[in-house]
Amino acid sequence: MGFAVAICMKNKLQMAIGLAAAAAMCGAANPETSLGEAGCEVTAPLLSPAGDGLGAVQLMQTPHGVLITARLKGLKPGTHAMHLHEKAKCKPDFGASGAHFNPTGAQHGYKNPQGFHLGDLPNFTVAASGEANVDVFSPDLRLCGGEHPLLDGDGAALIVHGGADDYFTDPAGGAGERIGCAVLSE
């Protein structure tokens, strides 16, 4: 149980260093090569409720969990929550994505003594420019195959919320409205 986070990398060199560190943590020697199972990754645009592009997210299976990379723009500065939701749907509204990805029936939040949802992710900070670069590694997730894969029959969605997650309150940490949605499917 746990995660590693690298937030707000300012240039491509820092991004390369961050990806190299993630690759080393995941057992790969070269971040340019496939880190996971063949074809087990997904890239999707993050869209606002109005359909405006807010950047892109990529999820990649590694031998030790899932690496989530998000390059975001056009967001309100400050701290935001990000969660994985149970359905690969963003229409007719972001509520179509359902609840948090929670196949084990846990409570919400890393601080909750009764566990956390597999779709719970750490907060991230958006700079004054409205941009954020987020890298999250979760050893508790599977993208493809194995027990409780995200890319099952109905896929999943990555949701960005308008506020921060308090890491405790069930079901969503008081994170506020859903302001960004990315459909994750095969």
Three-state SS at 20 = helix
DSSP lists the bridge partners of residue 66 as 61, 138
Percentage of the residues of the chain whose pLDDT score is greater than 70: 78
Q: 99-119 pLDDT, tens per residue?
A: 888 888 777 778 878 878 778
- Largest Cα separation within the chain, whole Å, is 43
Instruction: Report the alpha-carbon distance of residue 127 to residue 131 in Å, rounded.
Output: 6
108 falls within a domain: yes
Q: Which domain holds residue 68?
A: 36-184
Instruction: Report the alpha-carbon distance of residue 21 to residue 28 in Å, rounded.
Output: 10
The H-assigned helical ranges of 36-141 are none
Q: What's 109's DSSP letter? A: -
Q: 101: domain CATH number?
A: 2.60.40.200
Q: 46-81 pLDDT, tens per residue?
A: 999 999 999 999 999 999 899 999 999 999 999 999
Q: 8-45 pLDDT, tens per residue?
A: 333 333 333 344 344 333 333 333 323 345 458 999 99
56 falls within a domain: yes
pTM of the model: 0.78
Better pLDDT: 28 or 174: 174
21 falls within a domain: no
